[in-house]
Amino acid sequence: MKIAVCVKEVPDPGPLRRIDPATKRIDRSGDRSLNTYDLNAIEEALRLNEAGGGGEVILVSMGPERALESLRKGLAMGAARAVLISDEAAAGSDLVATSLVLAEAIKRESPDLVLFGQQAGDSDGAVLWAAVADRLQLPVVSQVSELSIDGGKVTAKRQSEFGYDTIEAPLPAVLAVSDALNEPRYPSLKGIMGAKKKPQDVLSLSDLGVSADRAGEAGSRTAVSALSPPPSRGDTQKIEDDGSAAQKVLEYLIERKLV
């Protein structure tokens, strides 16, 4: 089975995320890594092919050429090759433009299954997979916590606010998997050493037949008009728990006639 896994390089998680005031985008100048949620998608793709007796797992991403460094973690885990769309004209792409570029890259590969992590750690949008599926005109299932493939269909157990839904869809299909699906493996030393030797294709927009005015800021349908610090929450009172914290909280609420 040929499985395409869409992955993203994101800034390393931390307490603060800086927005570049000039571009009004996330500052990506610091340390970066492969999106944590995407590791579950890579792991599941590898498991599906191992259970099925073989196949190919392809990483598909869009970003600057340096993103190959992060993609190599997925190659070290066991993915066969990586495809990175890197083009200056694609910088600043929003959901609309990004979904177009990724969809064209996926069409080029014609996979049997497309996997996404549930969301990206830098934006937490959790909608790109739906936009890509719409462009590909393929069935889509999100929040997948269990899945199996039998013949030409996939059966997915989907988390919802009311419990679980079991959904069947014909292949090819697009699935967004949750981090409850599996525990990603650690790359072996052999895998790490061999990752740099695996095929890593860097494509431009023209390689995909996408014109420059359909990607980047020119092809985006949304724009950030202004940025400002979050509003002040007013006066705050910090209570240290020395054994009397509950009583202090109660007194605070009584004083303000909240209980």
Give the pLDDT confidence of 129-172 residue by residue, as tens digits.
999 999 999 999 999 999 999 989 999 999 888 889 999 999 99
The whole-number pLDDT of residue 14 equals 63
**231 pLDDT above the threshold of 70:** yes
Q: Measured in whole angstroms, how far is the alpha carbon of residue 141 from the centre of its chain?
A: 15
CATH architecture for the domain at 2-219: 3-Layer(aba) Sandwich (3.40)
Q: How far apart are CA 52 and CA 70, in angstroms?
A: 27
Task: With cut-offs at 50, 70 and 90, classify the pLDDT of residue 31.
Answer: confident
Task: With cut-offs at 50, 70 and 90, classify the pLDDT of residue 97.
Answer: very high
**Helix-strand-coil percent breakdown of the chain, rounded to 5?**
35, 25, 40
Strand partners, 56: 2
Amino acid in the structure at residue 126? A
Give the pTM: 0.84
Task: With cut-offs at 50, 70 and 90, classify the pLDDT of residue 82.
Answer: very high
Would you state the structure tokens that stand for residue 135, as one six-digit string? Answer: 């462009």
The whole-number pLDDT of residue 143 equals 93
Would you state the structure tokens that stand for residue 133, as one six-digit string? Answer: 């599926």
DSSP single-letter state for residue 66:
G
Backbone angles phi, psi at 136, to 5 degrees: -85, -10
Task: With cut-offs at 50, 70 and 90, classify the pLDDT of residue 176.
Answer: very high
Residue 209 backbone zone (phi > 0: left; psi -120 to 50: alpha; other: beta): left
Integer angstrom CA distances of residue 97 from 19, 72, 245: 21, 25, 51
**Residue that is written with structure tokens 């929450």 in the block:** 233
Task: With cut-offs at 50, 70 and 90, classify the pLDDT of residue 67.
Answer: very high
